[in-house]
Structure 1
């Protein structure tokens, strides 16, 4: 036990020095099954049961597909092309900004023989997908139905995946991998005890041992934040960090640059 504690302290000590703080500025109370984030237009996205909800003040828009059961993940990187994964039915649905169904990809029926664990938004008509049949990341064009394999198979357990238009990050139980759209592995950073990735258009973070680390130039740097209670619903946008706790309260933290 003493050896584990020393090893834990050693790993924390090897992170970079914190230069960023997030201070709590607001909290909102509402019930949801899952919380997916806030877009650039201050629309809130969450689900209640199998229904995806987009809310701005008192205006509510919803999407429900009773044939696809429960929602596995929602990526709101591009509010005009929202990526929704239904893992149980191996299906990805692309929604427009009014939550109308724009495109649907059933990977069990389109002849691709993929088993999709994660799906996130890419550029144009592309989505990033992680296929558990090959343990490999791919960039899939849903209009041409063509796929480009990215990098090499990942042999560790894959825990989470986040992306922007040009890059994709994959969290395993040992590393954080960063890839570009050309198929190149850019960085491979040791990271154990990682829980989930947090990202927006410019920043990428990881929750490790009840603290948040920001990825800066291949280095993981702790951020200062006045909580150590992180749920699986943590999102980032425009220097605001959103933590949805116990399926009833959303806490909003604002970025402060340390001097």
Structure 2
């Protein structure tokens, strides 16, 4: 009996070891949101501080600000020019890859963009802004307005309330919980609406949109086939946020635990 128990114990340890083989890191985050960059670094974002870690979980740099109010969003699509938006004070800062401030603070009041609710980085060092009063997207370069969309409320025949904005691969994506994800070209011209609802944030990667659905599961939408699929539902069922960089998937649980795993296909 002792030998059987010993064998069972050995097999149990082996199973647990293999089950966790793909897992790279588990780390508790301090902030209420996170993001990642193309190099696999992740950013722990709290109301007044951003901590940058490498994928090993080693702290690289920290940015903090107690003057400009709470941090509304952080865009690291260009990790050499990190964009931080302070909605309460209608100001934007740009940080370098060491999380140090680059250049002057951009005051949106000076550009008549004081009603901005969402901000994201655009191509050619541009920035997109969404105005919830005028229902418009505006793009600037070098502090000059370059593109302005139509009134989206009139165009769609409904009063949208977008909660997330990003640009990827010459397309602009604007998410509304009830209406879905609106897609625009790089000039702000409306193209279509993707039927993905009730998402707080999402990531566009090549031909996929990655997000957490209403059941706290990781869901993938194929932009080519228009099909939706659930990723590892039996393993990840209480997800708050998710991102992919390279061959790794970054999963933030409702308990604010960040898990970095190898992607299993």
Task: Flag the structure with higher helix content.
Answer: 2
- What is the alpha-carbon distance in structure 1 between the residues aligned to residue 169 and residue 201 of structure 2? 20
- What is the alpha-carbon distance in structure 2 between the residues aligned to residue 177 and residue 102 of structure 1? 32
More deviation, 85-94/207-216? 207-216
- What is the alpha-carbon distance in structure 1 between the residues aligned to residue 247 and residue 208 of structure 2? 9
More deviation, 73-82/93-102? 93-102
Q: Does 1:176 align with 2:181?
A: yes
TM-score for both structures, normalised by structure 2 = 0.76
Q: Which residue of 2 aligns with 1:149?
A: 148
Q: Which residue of 2 aligns with 1:20?
A: none
Q: Which residue of 1 aligns with 2:63?
A: 63
TM-score for both structures, normalised by structure 1 = 0.78
Q: Which residue of 2 aligns with 1:105?
A: 106
How big is each residue's C-alpha offset from its partner over 1:100-125, in whole Å with a ceiling of 9 and x where there is no partner? 222422212x0414312111111122
Task: After TM superposition, list the pairs within 5 Å mapping 1:26-65 onto structure 2.
Answer: 26-56=24-54, 57=56, 58-65=58-65
- Identify unmatched segments of 5+ residues in structure 2: 1-20, 154-158
Q: Give, in angstroms, the shift of residue 234 of structure 1.
A: 2.5
- What is the alpha-carbon distance in structure 2 between the residues aligned to residue 169 and residue 131 of structure 1? 15
- Identify unmatched segments of 5+ residues in structure 1: 1-22
Contact 2:39/2:245, CA 8 A, preserved across alignment: no
| Secondary structure, aligned partner of 1:124 | helix
Q: Pick the aligned partner of 1:249 from 228, 244, 257.
A: 257
TM-align CA RMSD: 2.6
Q: Which residue of 2 aligns with 1:16?
A: none
Task: Flag the structure with higher strand content.
Answer: 1
Task: After TM superposition, list the pairs within 5 Å mapping 1:1-259 onto structure 2.
Answer: 25-56=23-54, 57=56, 58-103=58-103, 104-108=105-109, 110-141=110-141, 143-154=142-153, 155-164=159-168, 166-172=170-176, 173-200=178-205, 203-210=208-215, 211=217, 212-217=219-224, 219-225=226-232, 226-231=235-240, 233-246=241-254, 248-257=256-265
Relative contact order higher in (CA < 8 Å, ≥ 6 apart)? 1
Contact 2:94/2:101, CA 8 A, preserved across alignment: yes
- What is the alpha-carbon distance in structure 2 between the residues aligned to residue 256 and residue 88 of structure 1? 41
| CA distance 1:245–1:256, change in 2 (3 Å) | closer
Q: Give, in angstroms, the shift of residue 246 of structure 1.
A: 4.0
Larger Rg: 2
Contact 2:211/2:242, CA 8 A, preserved across alignment: no
| Secondary structure, aligned partner of 1:234 | strand
